[in-house]
Chain A
Amino acid sequence: MLDTSSTDMAGSSLDEVIACPECDALYHARMPEEGARLVCKRCHHVLIAPQKDAYLHVVSLALTTLFLMGGAIYFPFLGISAAGFENKTSVLKTVMAFLDEGFTVALSIFVAAFIIMIPAIRSILVIYVILPLMMGRKPAPYARTAFRVSEDLRPWSMAEIFIIGCAVALVKIVAYGKVEIGPAFWLFIVLVIVTVLQDISMDRWSIWKALERRS
């Protein structure tokens, strides 16, 4: 499967060759069977991992993410009550709580970007890119740019880190009073799981190939 002597590579068309983005090793870009994967032999980077009905899965998971995000922003998130005082907060309120003074504004903007805006933008971009492919149409205008941006934003989408942060904060603040966990908290946990599933179902190589072929 991986006969990569130099003469062999020189003979094959560049379209049939794939280079490992992490270690530059060349392989024959052969589509493995669904569920099977082409993995780099020396650095173990997953090169190609096609899945059954991948487009459908990715689009529905991205749509789910958007709906969950809407709910997670809207519904009560966490609350605390102590000695007659009560304080409830939503994700949006948490993020926007510090727009009143100096440096904390920057903090609000960062957090809003990491946990709301970037995950939402990524979902929209993915739907924009994959939906036409799913329906067998030509890629949307600027689909390649959209997919590139979506991939570049990936490390900056931090919903999963936020939820662990919530767990730590909860353990910390039980000392102050009685903690209430609202529906948005659970929606956010589902959102994290859906995002992970979406990233697993997405085979970048197949998508790039489809975008190239049909545009």
Chain B
Amino acid sequence: MESSGTQKLITAREAGLVSCTRCSKVWPMEHKTCGRCGGKLVSRDMMSLQRVWAWMAVGLMCYIPANVFPMLNTQVLGKTSGNTIIGGAITLAHHGGYFVALVILLASVAIPVGKFIAVAYLAVSVRRPDMLRNEQRHKLYHFVEFIGRWSMIDVFVVIITSALIQFSVAVTVRPGIAAITFALSVIFTMFAAMSFDPRMIWDNDGRGWPETGNDRNE
């Protein structure tokens, strides 16, 4: 348990209470739904880790084709050529578009890959709390939650580019199949981050989780 200064903090769980993560009201441990907002009350959601892994797996399965198949199909006078995420960024850089190439690599490669690693790390660290300090893990959790949505940038870039570059038969640009698998990958990894119960980060008092009767175990 963390203590700040002379004041010792106590968690709702330690006080025999269950807190609502939506509206922050506390209830006696045996309550199952929040009387204020109607949300489900779970003291610690042991199943949340399984849901995190499941969403991550689906997200990863979508992320692989997103990198293999073309994100954009450019048709010049009847001839079609596809560009993958990384291939497109390289082409852009070749033509001097370093800034755009950097933004796309950051949003479509660095953030998703970093997010897979960070979420996996967080989920593992719940079982092995000695890996990083709680504050640092909480900051990591926040960062992942904040940054994940921004991966969607490339999907929007594809949509806008394809909607604009429509010069009848001369040049047309259309989204490739990777645009949709990439969007799905971002959506699924957002679900993964949302499934994580950050309260678990702060439970590492070396005592594990004593049963309270309001944990979801299956």
Residues of A bordering B, CB below 8 Å = 2-6, 9-10, 14, 17-26, 41-43, 47, 78-80, 82-83, 85, 87, 89, 93-95, 97-98, 103-104, 106-107, 110-111, 114-115, 144-145, 147-148, 151, 155, 158, 161-162, 164-166, 168-169, 171-173, 175-176, 204-205, 208, 211-212
- Complex-state Cα separation, A67 to B145, whole angstroms: 30
Q: Is the CB of A24 within 8 A of B199?
A: yes
Task: Identify which of B11, B104, B164, B199 gathers the most chain A CB atoms within 10 Å of its CB.
Answer: B164
Query: In the complex, how many angstroms separate the beta carbon of B18 from the nearest chain A beta carbon?
Result: 9
Residue of A nearest to B97 (CB): A172
Cβ-neighbour of A14 out of B17, B100, B138, B164 (below 8 A): B17
- Complex-state Cα separation, A205 to B38, whole angstroms: 15
Contact mask for chain B residues 1-22; partner A; CB cutoff 8 A; 1 contact, 0 none: 0101001111111110101111
23 CB < 8 A contacts A-B: A2-B7, A6-B15, A10-B15, A14-B17, A14-B28, A21-B19, A21-B21, A23-B198, A24-B11, A25-B11, A26-B10, A26-B12, A26-B19, A41-B7, A42-B2, A79-B164, A110-B155, A147-B37, A172-B161, A175-B97, A205-B24, A208-B22, A212-B36
Interface size class of B (residues with CB under 8 A): 35 or more
Q: Is the CB of A94 within 8 A of B159?
A: yes
Query: In the complex, how many angstroms separate the beta carbon of B14 from the nearest chain A beta carbon?
Result: 7
Cβ of B75 within 8 Å of any chain A Cβ, yes or no, is no
Q: Is the CB of A111 within 8 A of B155?
A: yes
Contact mask for chain B residues 90-133; partner A; CB cutoff 8 A; 1 contact, 0 none: 00100101011001100000000000000000000000000000
Q: Is the CB of A208 within 8 A of B159?
A: no
Q: Is the CB of A24 within 8 A of B4?
A: no
CB neighbours of B199 from chain A (8 A): 21-24
Q: Is the CB of A158 within 8 A of B152?
A: yes
Q: Is the CB of B19 within 8 A of A24?
A: yes
- Complex-state Cα separation, A14 to B154, whole angstroms: 47
Known: A23-B11, A168-B153; 12 extra A-B contacts, CB below 8 A, are A21-B22, A41-B7, A87-B166, A97-B159, A103-B180, A147-B37, A155-B149, A164-B150, A168-B103, A172-B100, A208-B24, A212-B35
- Complex-state Cα separation, A151 to B174, whole angstroms: 34
Q: Is the CB of B160 within 8 A of A93?
A: no
Given contacts A17-B26, A21-B21, contact A78 B37 (CB under 8 A): no
